[in-house]
Amino acid sequence: MKILIIGANGQIGTRLAHQLNDSEHDPVAMIRKEKQQEKFKKEGIPTVLADLEEDISHAFKDIEGVVFTAGSGADTPKSQTKVIDEEGAKKAIDEAIDAEVNRFVMVSALKANRDPKNWSDSMQHYYEAKSNADEYLRNSGLNYTVLMPGRLTNEEGTGRV
């Protein structure tokens, strides 16, 4: 299956691209900057330049599955979280529908499906964006999976869930 990884330059996306490249699947790393291409090309992983704040329809050509693992990052303004984590995700979902993509995997956040009264003030904007994007996916008609990881680490995985 040819899988578009949106947010491939991030830590989750990079690891996933390498794992998929070592499997029967064909990853395509969606990146925003040309200088990010080298780390994927040296591993034989194709890339597509696309920015979630612009037209991304070209990135979905011949794609069978999508993994959305893009995020605005902790050092960006709260408004950017809405632009990338919510509106960017919704745009990707719409493009997947238009391209008749078979499968969509959303990397969300553990508390995104909880009662908003239980979100901390400092994280409310993040969980709200993730929650809204998750709900949009659930109502999209796509075959989907929403992953809700808790605290992420940079340690090697164990291969077990």
List the catalytic residues: 126
2: part of which helix (H) or strand (E)?
strand 2-6
49: left (phi over 0), alpha (psi -120 to 50) or beta: beta
Q: Would you say 91 and 56 are in contact if contact means Cβ atoms under 8 Å apart?
A: yes
Task: Produce one character per residue of 22-49: b if its CB has 16 or more CB atoms within 10 Å, e if not.
Answer: eeeebbbbbbbeeebbebbeeeebebbe
Closest to 8 (Cα-Cα) out of 23, 155, 43:
43
